[in-house]
Chains A and B, each alone.
Chain A
């Protein structure tokens, strides 16, 4: 069990190292001593600018987005008792990015910068609540995934509709950024707008995680051992909605990290959903920080979108899990 004991501290350390590495690497690599100096306020103005306004906020945004998605994915998987549940697959991210895009292109954001994260969160909560309702009505995992696929497609279609009828004409590339997800050019201002919601959502998920262990037994037996089923559903949906909405406000819709991270973590925490939450968040954060470094240093004419890389890594895993599942569970 030594692996289990070192899992969380090890992942936390790896995250710090990866974020630091993200500050070193780029079009002009900086040596570690200059990055250290820049962090501590020394070094020359150019280095400080590169580290503090470009690379560090971008790496931090990638980490926070990944952590929010990993945490939400692990929590939703616990609630729905299904390893395929994840904000991206279930259409939560797509709905959130639709709401965010709507607020952007109808000029609502002009009233207050808080409108953007609030819109994304409203979209995420609406989608998560709909899914939770569906999950109560149907026990079939397949049905739930299909509803998520439908939700994703519907949000995508509405996004195209927006493209055609929005009063402020916007470019295809903007829409693609929201649908594919990216943390390019993120600043601390944007992080600060998303952070309160991200912290609130994460706090709710962590505070109510014990109930997710009980749900392993199924809903009937879980209420038998003393779980308040209704509250558990409300809090998990609320927490995942807040955290996913905040991540979408920051980076658009990034799929599949919320599936991959809990899948890798679960064997080391005895498959307990509650204990998988924190390591899943850290691992998903780590994956996105590393993927974003890759996006930046892979020489392509147009920079790859972070969400594309996440899907390239994650979608095959999704298919693999789906093929592993025995019919008995559906």
Chain B
């Protein structure tokens, strides 16, 4: 079974400590939501876990192999990564963008092998963007773009998925749709680590919440155990009441 682990991961840039002694593991079947205020080190942590940053101390490994030494192709076949979305450089067709998810399998746009083409078709169907497949990506709405990027990640058919704020700037309906897609992926045997800002949705979808503040992992466990009013006050500086995983926010402390 594919397993991504961080052991005492520390990341410092000059004098700033972005992540300190973070340890966690991700395996298929889990839906982890990574929570924390802006600047808590969530993106730095996942980049260090992926081997995109040199950790100052500690290490991240994929099946006991250091992710820093992993060939980018091998890593991409095991972990699909959805960074915070940036505009595409060119107005490519949706199908071509989704096909880029097969890059690590050697896919070249315009002449996909049958296996790659099938994976792209499945991902497009799963994300319900078949009707958009031949459109240019610059004509899509925010919600459609988010589904396109999800399809790109799923097209890799990797056992693990890491997504950085996949539902930022989406309307409520699309937030549900994207999280449903990720939940389906987990149900079918994938493992997902997703950075979220919506605590309520995180508690509803994730099997585990990891709470970060100032570069530290403060708590790690199922929503029922880790989502408390005290936690919200400590981490986000907000007054709130929590009952049966329902949050009622009163305002800043």
Contacts and interface: CB of A to CB of B under 8 A. Distances in A.
Interface residues of B, number: 33
Given A271-B136, A275-B109, A225 B104 contact: yes
B97 to A, nearest CB: 7
Interface stretch (A62-70, A88-96, A99-107, A215-223): A215-223
B97 A217 contact: yes
Contact of A215 (B71, B76, B89, B91): B89
Interface centre among B88, B101, B109, B152 (most CB of A within 10 A): B109
B86 interface: yes
Nearest to B52: A223
B51 to A, nearest CB: 9
B109 A213 contact: yes
Contact of A216 (B50, B71, B82, B92): B92
A329 B83 contact: no
A274 B100 contact: no
B88 A272 contact: no
Interface centre among B87, B89, B93 (most CB of A within 10 A): B89
B173 to A, nearest CB: 25
Given A270-B92, A272-B110, A221 B86 contact: yes
A200 B104 CA distance: 26
B109 A225 contact: no
Interface centre among B72, B82, B88, B101 (most CB of A within 10 A): B72
A10 interface: no
Interface in B72-113: 72-73, 75-77, 80-84, 86-93, 96-97, 100-101, 103-104, 108-110
Contacts of A161: none
A81 B76 contact: no
Interface in A312-330: 328-329
A227 interface: yes
Contacts of A216: 88-90, 92, 97, 100
A82 B88 CA distance: 11
Size band of the A side of the interface? 20 to 34
Contacts of A213: 96, 100, 103, 108-109
Interface centre among A82, A226, A272, A274 (most CB of B within 10 A): A226
Nearest to A274: B109
Interface string A254-289: 000000000000100111111100000000000000
B72 A223 contact: yes
A151 to B, nearest CB: 23
A214 interface: yes
A328 B92 CA distance: 17
A226 B89 contact: no
A215 B52 CA distance: 16
Contacts of B109: 213, 270, 272, 274-275
A224 B82 CA distance: 7
Contacts, number: 87
A163 to B, nearest CB: 40
A229 to B, nearest CB: 8
B156 interface: yes
Contact of A221 (B77, B82, B93, B96): B82
A296 interface: no
A225 B108 contact: no
Interface in B132-189: 136, 152, 156
A82 B90 CA distance: 9
Contacts of A34: none
B156 A225 contact: yes
A329 B84 CA distance: 16
B96 A270 contact: yes
A223 B84 CA distance: 13
Contacts of B80: 224
Contact of A225 (B52, B76, B88): B76
Given A218-B83, A221-B83, 12 more contacts: A81-B90, A210-B108, A216-B92, A217-B86, A217-B152, A220-B84, A223-B72, A224-B50, A225-B76, A225-B156, A226-B73, A271-B91
26 contacts: A210-B103, A213-B100, A213-B108, A214-B103, A216-B88, A216-B89, A216-B97, A217-B89, A217-B97, A217-B152, A218-B86, A218-B89, A220-B86, A221-B86, A223-B72, A226-B75, A226-B76, A227-B72, A270-B92, A270-B109, A270-B110, A271-B90, A271-B136, A273-B90, A274-B108, A274-B109
Task: Give 9 nearest A-B pairs by CB, closest first.
Answer: A226-B76, A226-B104, A224-B81, A81-B89, A271-B90, A225-B103, A218-B86, A220-B83, A226-B73
